[in-house]
Structure 1
Amino acid sequence: MTDQHADRNDDRTFALLRELLTTYGPVGREDAVRDVCARELRDLVDESWTDPAGNLVGLVRGKGEPGAPGVRVMAHMDELSMIVKRVEDGGTLRVGELGVMNPGNFGLGPVAVLGDAEELTAVLALGSEHTSKETQQVWQTKPDGGDRAIDWNHVSIFTGRTPEELAAAGVHPGTRVCVHRSRREPVRFGQHVGGYFLDDRAAVVALLEAARRLRERGERPPADVHLVFTASEEIGGVGASYASRTLPGEVTLALEVGPAEPEYGTVVDSGPIVVYADAGAVYDTGIADHLLRLGQRLDLAPVPAAFTAFESDASQSKLKGQSPQAALLCLPTLSTHGYEVVHRDAVGDLAELLTEYLVHPRP
């Protein structure tokens, strides 16, 4: 590939990543993200549809080689978000988490309240630092008052609306609240990209890029491949478990961000992480070994890892008995579940390894 072609591919990939990062997709309300994925996927697969669990599925028909494994590749559409617990008398919202994080992962600032009738801008607030013990939710977080980490009981959503106005906008317990679009623009710096919700929008882009490369190669996989853009991963792999149970195939392979930390021997570079185990399941060694060798053959500098505080669509599906075999590929990511950072080449390298695996799923 010439440098000019590489630049064009990088620009296309970043533009799609930016669009996905700035699109709201809280757990259970992934519709807008799914629409973007469906638009991109339509011309890259033989069929596509949305299943009853809210997953977007694309089918790439295989050659029907005897003994070749059917593969389900998954990347999740949902993002870490908040859910309204109650609307208080003054129009303030009390919220809880959807996914594993605390308010510090998001930071105080503007949020979008996705009412049934209207999208509202509001602010995730703690309260003034210039307060005493009387303002307990602030006092408890001060070094001289308890030095506690900010948790959901400390914060609230200031809407500037009355309860009646919120009701008219369709805001009620169960309404989703997301980091505001004004804070979701990705930034490119040096060889890296930073932004909220690279988990799992960067992997979604890698899956779409792999579908594009597979189509451009003009080579069919040996067996059918289902590309699955899953719903509700952040609360236990709900969509993935349904897809693994209802779609044919032997292998569920998830694409994820993966922690770049010394304890796992991983750093924020472009080489894909091949995961052998996480907190949910032990992945199939034969598949992981094969992925590692393919990555080495392609000079992608893949890194093996075993995660102890991590789960994926694939490990959830295997844990629940929905998939006989499972595998996991990750983009090395700094500050997972926070303001995340990946290497600018990580998406393309992950797509390259995945494409090669889909064409050659057996050693």
Structure 2
Amino acid sequence: MKAIDIDRQFLRDTLLGLLEVPSPTGMTDNVVQYVCEKLNELGVSYEVTRRGAIRANLPGKVHSPDRAIAAHLDTLGAMVKNLKPNGRLEVVSVGTWPARSAEGARVTLFSDGGRQYRGTLMPLKASGHVFGKQVDSQEASWSNLELRLDEQVASKADLQQLEIHTGDMIAVDPQPEFLKNGFWVSRFLDDKAGVAALLTATKAVLEAKAELPMDCHLLFTISEETGAGASHILHGDVAELLAVDNGTIAPGQNTSEYGVTITMQDSSGPFDWYLTRRLIFISQTYGIEHSRDVFNYYRSDAAAAVEAGNDIRTALICFALDGSHGYERTHEKSLVAVARLISLYMQSGPMFERDKAAIGPLADFPDDQSEWDETEFNDTKLLPSED
């Protein structure tokens, strides 16, 4: 393995480009096109599922077993539930996110035939001049939100005249602001920042002509926010899956605000002992700022892959994220750290020789995980030695 320079300008530009493309779950075709164009620019081959998930391919010395690294393209959003008599629209969320984070958001409604309408997600009691203190006491819930379109509509008939229907998709403006001090603020950094870091790491590995010991698949999923994630894009040769997503900054959490966070467990349970400690070892060896954390109310592409029946080792690394599923903030240093770790992980060998087969004898099963030492595995050539 060797450390590789990370192109920060490419990281920034790629993330901004991703944020410009609306992609709530269920409406991801345009962002799939964007990522495929990026892969074409990098010279990376890829395949696309019938619904649009992307599996890109970086060839290595060994074709089986291979590994996969996943990040999701879909974001939170909303959908029209009903056309209201007053010309407003009842809405429901796409993905799980708090209504208080949606209040006041500027949005675009996408209707049939390519029609687009601008509007704002408003609480039912929005004006203090009318409702007084009730604007503060009204519960923040999706049932207490409505979409106010910037059109001359005052009735259900007016909305029908615009050919607006139940089920029309609503995309929320990301409103990105990238500051010179490295703080990057926007909606939907989850997980477009992870996608940008993965593409940037790929660029670094390719330009450095780094040798990959095993095939590596880059998975860009399209329904993580609604739970499906990487359940539908793996194939049988994948022995390891690394998910890249956000790490929450909040009281009681241990997320690294300017580095990478290696997740030990989320709501689906512990991640693979060996793969997780491989990532910790790489971070320690190459001086990547990192921390370990546990997330109670969190699941990722990795959980969906295991729940779909895949017998694979999984791990989750995260970039820092303050205000997840709201108006989010990260720092450039954190995304660079994630990209560095990905680029080094791509260069590491299989965890164990036995992983090339789904089932094997006890004889080649690890002896005792509590005594496992990465440096010993370097010595026994179960993973490549450091250059």
TM-score normalised by L of structure 1 = 0.87
Query: Which aligned pairs between 1:63-212 and structure 2 lie closer than 5 A?
Result: 63-64=61-62, 69-117=65-113, 118-126=115-123, 127-132=126-131, 139=134, 141-142=135-136, 147-159=137-149, 160-162=151-153, 163=156, 166-167=159-160, 170-180=163-173, 184-188=175-179, 190-212=181-203
Q: For 2:43 and 2:285, locate their aligned partners in 1 and report how far apart those are by CA, in whole Å.
A: 27
How far is 1:152 from its partner? 0.9
How far is 1:111 from its partner? 1.1
Identify the residue that residue 218 of structure 1 maps to in structure 2. Answer: 209
Q: For 1:281 and 1:170, locate their aligned partners in 2 and report how far apart those are by CA, in whole Å.
A: 46
Identify the residue that residue 328 of structure 1 maps to in structure 2. Answer: 316
How far is 1:293 from its partner? 0.8
Identify the residue that residue 33 of structure 2 maps to in structure 1. Answer: 35
Q: For 1:187 and 1:44, locate their aligned partners in 2 and report how far apart those are by CA, in whole Å.
A: 25
2:253 maps to amino acid: Y
**Alignment identity in percent?**
24
Identify the residue that residue 341 of structure 1 maps to in structure 2. Answer: 329
* Secondary structure of the corresponding residue to residue 269 of structure 2: coil
CA displacement, residues 286-305 of structure 1 (integer Å, 9 cap, x when unaligned): 00001011011111121111
CA displacement, residues 277-330 of structure 1 (integer Å, 9 cap, x when unaligned): 100232101000010110111111211111111110012222332342211010
CA displacement, residues 123-154 of structure 1 (integer Å, 9 cap, x when unaligned): 21123122349xxxx83x53xxxx35411111
Given that 1:54 and 1:239 are in contact with CA atoms closer than 8 Å, whether structure 2 keeps it comes out as no
Identify the residue that residue 21 of structure 1 maps to in structure 2. Answer: 19
* Secondary structure of the corresponding residue to residue 210 of structure 1: helix
Identify the residue that residue 233 of structure 2 maps to in structure 1. Answer: 243
Q: Residues 173 and 217 (structure 1 numbering): CA distance in 2 closer, same or farther, change over 3 Å?
A: same
Identify the residue that residue 246 of structure 2 maps to in structure 1. Answer: 257
Q: For 2:266 and 2:12, locate their aligned partners in 1 and report how far apart those are by CA, in whole Å.
A: 29
Given that 1:278 and 1:307 are in contact with CA atoms closer than 8 Å, whether structure 2 keeps it comes out as yes
Structure 2's unaligned 5+ residue stretches are: 352-373, 375-387
Q: Residues 169 and 185 (structure 1 numbering): CA distance in 2 closer, same or farther, change over 3 Å?
A: farther
CA displacement, residues 18-72 of structure 1 (integer Å, 9 cap, x when unaligned): 121121001011112111111111243542121123201211112117xx64111
Identify the residue that residue 354 of structure 1 maps to in structure 2. Answer: 342
* Secondary structure of the corresponding residue to residue 35 of structure 1: helix
Q: For 1:51 and 1:161, locate their aligned partners in 2 and report how far apart those are by CA, in whole Å.
A: 41
Given the alignment, which residue of 265, 272, 284 partners 1:277?
Answer: 265
Given that 1:232 and 1:239 are in contact with CA atoms closer than 8 Å, whether structure 2 keeps it comes out as yes
Any runs of at least 4 consecutive aligned residues in structure 1 with deviations exceeding 4 A, and if so which?
161-170
Given that 2:98 and 2:325 are in contact with CA atoms closer than 8 Å, whether structure 1 keeps it comes out as no
* Secondary structure of the corresponding residue to residue 318 of structure 1: helix
Q: Residues 169 and 72 (structure 1 numbering): CA distance in 2 closer, same or farther, change over 3 Å?
A: farther
Structure 1's unaligned 5+ residue stretches are: none
1:33 maps to amino acid: V
Given the alignment, which residue of 239, 263, 277 partners 1:289?
Answer: 277
Given that 2:65 and 2:237 are in contact with CA atoms closer than 8 Å, whether structure 1 keeps it comes out as no
Given the alignment, which residue of 41, 48, 51 partners 1:50?
Answer: 48
How far is 1:266 from its partner? 2.1
How far is 1:165 from its partner? 5.8
Q: For 2:163 and 2:274, locate their aligned partners in 1 and report how far apart those are by CA, in whole Å.
A: 51
* Secondary structure of the corresponding residue to residue 97 of structure 2: coil
Q: For 1:228 and 1:164, locate their aligned partners in 2 and report how far apart those are by CA, in whole Å.
A: 44
2:244 maps to amino acid: L
Q: Residues 22 and 339 (structure 1 numbering): CA distance in 2 closer, same or farther, change over 3 Å?
A: same
Given that 2:238 and 2:312 are in contact with CA atoms closer than 8 Å, whether structure 1 keeps it comes out as no
CA displacement, residues 52-93 of structure 1 (integer Å, 9 cap, x when unaligned): 23201211112117xx64111111001111111111234311
1:58 maps to amino acid: A
Q: Residues 32 and 63 (structure 1 numbering): CA distance in 2 closer, same or farther, change over 3 Å?
A: same
Question: What is the CA RMSD across the aligned residues, in angstroms?
Answer: 2.2
